[in-house]
Structure 1
Amino acid sequence: MTTANSRARLAEIIRTRSFGRGEVTLASGRKSDFYFNLKPTMLDPEGAALLAELTYEALRAEQVDYVGGLEMGAVPLAGAIAQLSWLNGRPIAAFFVRKKPKEYGAKLAVEGLAKNESLKGKRVVIVEDVTTTGGSAIKAAEAVRESGAEIAMVLTMVDREEGAADSFAAAGLPFRSLYKASEFLNA
């Protein structure tokens, strides 16, 4: 399938499985009359494969070592991208950032790294399922920077176009999205 065909098919899956109308309160606290819940798309076999394919394509020109982001939205994305990158012979490892470090065990904020692994000096892409203001991705980026990594970019699957681009620019984080909310609202 061509990239354009993959993108069109994924948009159809998102529209069917993950997009809806009706008043909701977003993670940012804002009210909205539409929503994206990307979990049904991320956990659908075809949806997961297409998200990984299109994200991997978007990262192809970047020299990145790791991909990950804030739990829960980034976990299925990072895992699918890591698997596809391995199958394509250009491995990109995955991790995730806890919203709050566990109070037991290793008490880590960044999970998924082996004992001898570190993000220090590594180029990392923060992935997110849906972005509104950018607060969740910025929180993940801060934790990753504290680990010594360089943030190559923040890449979201759907940008709600409600201020994230400005937030990321102010934080010095390059930002890209696979889709914009207007693509679904105006369809």
Structure 2
Amino acid sequence: MDAAGGKPHRPFISAKESIFLTMDKQMMAEEIYKLAHWNGEVRMRSGATSDNYVDPYRFESDPRLMGAIAWEMSTFVPVGTQVLAGLELGGIPLVTVLSLETRLPAVFVRLKAQQYGTGRVAEGAEISGKRVCVVKDIVSTGMQVLQSVNDLRAAGANVTDVVCVIEQDPEGRRNIEAAGLRFHALFTLEELTRIGLGGEEGKPNMEE
């Protein structure tokens, strides 16, 4: 949606002109689940464990899926966005295809600045004074997102929105929105799981 709550916005490109093949959200959810759902207990970044986990690198390495994801995520990019910021590591391939889809420049955000090279936490396009939309693969607690937003703001960026493929935990949305940011997810983990398991009520959220 745009800042005024208007229609979804694809900045420069029409469906006919997209360089990517598209699929509907139902099919996309089924494909993501089939390809990337992990059976077995997994330790999360927060230290907690989960037996319902989606491996983002499985769907991010599939060009057909990534094209469809980029097309759908482009509807979340607000009018007036000047730079897309992908967060290390899973946000990097996403922001690359989303940059191709929207024709907006990208910046790649490190977890922390390194003591070599440029020493910057954000590599790529200039962000000082620019309106920036953050791109992430999966959001759980949202703490990494908020740290990266703080880093981007410290570098002069005006960060307004966060977009992701999967909202793993509602806590992440609450934390991000409490910080004054708009949050958009293609799927919640719950709806992705329902669709993947073939539940009758497994319909994606078409309102985002």
TM tier, shorter chain?
0.7 to 0.9
1:64 paired residue among 81, 85, 91: 81
Which residue number in structure 1 is paired with residue 68 of structure 2?
50
The one-letter amino acid paired with 1:6 is D
- Is 1:22 the equivalent of 2:34? no
- Is 1:111 the equivalent of 2:119? no
Mapped partners of 1:63, 1:74: distance in 2: 21
Report the secondary structure of 2:52's partner residue: strand
Cα offset, 1:162, TM superposition: 4.0
| Equivalent pair of 2:23/2:68 in contact (CA under 8 Å) | no
Which residue number in structure 2 is paired with residue 132 of structure 1?
140
Report the secondary structure of 1:22's partner residue: coil
- Report percent identity of matched pairs: 27
Q: Number of aligned residue pairs: give it.
A: 176
- Is 1:84 the equivalent of 2:93? no
Mapped partners of 1:17, 1:97: distance in 2: 27
Mapped partners of 2:33, 2:149: distance in 1: 29
Mapped partners of 1:7, 1:186: distance in 2: 13
| Equivalent pair of 1:52/1:80 in contact (CA under 8 Å) | yes
- Mind listing any 5+ residue stretches in structure 1 that lack a counterpart? 86-90
Report the secondary structure of 2:41's partner residue: strand
Cα offset, 1:105, TM superposition: 1.9
**Cα deviation digits, residues 19-38 of structure 1 (max 9, x gap):** 22321111111111110111
- Is 1:94 the equivalent of 2:111? no
Report the secondary structure of 1:125's partner residue: strand
Which residue number in structure 2 is paired with residue 74 of structure 1?
91
**CA-atom RMSD in angstroms:** 1.9
Report the secondary structure of 1:142's partner residue: helix
The one-letter amino acid paired with 1:111 is E
Aligned ranges 1:146-185 → 2 under 5 Å: 146-185=154-193
The one-letter amino acid paired with 2:143 is G
Scaled by the length of structure 2, the TM-score of the pair is: 0.79
**Cα deviation digits, residues 41-90 of structure 1 (max 9, x gap):** 1121101101111111222x5221111232111100111011122xxxxx
| Equivalent pair of 1:156/1:178 in contact (CA under 8 Å) | yes
Instruction: Give the structure with the larger strand fraction.
Output: 1
Cα offset, 1:5, TM superposition: 4.4
Mapped partners of 1:161, 1:32: distance in 2: 11
Mapped partners of 1:96, 1:139: distance in 2: 14
Cα offset, 1:170, TM superposition: 2.4
4+ long deviations beyond 6 Å:
none
2:51 paired residue among 27, 33, 47: 33
Higher relative contact order (CA 8 A, sep 6+): 2
Cα offset, 1:183, TM superposition: 0.8
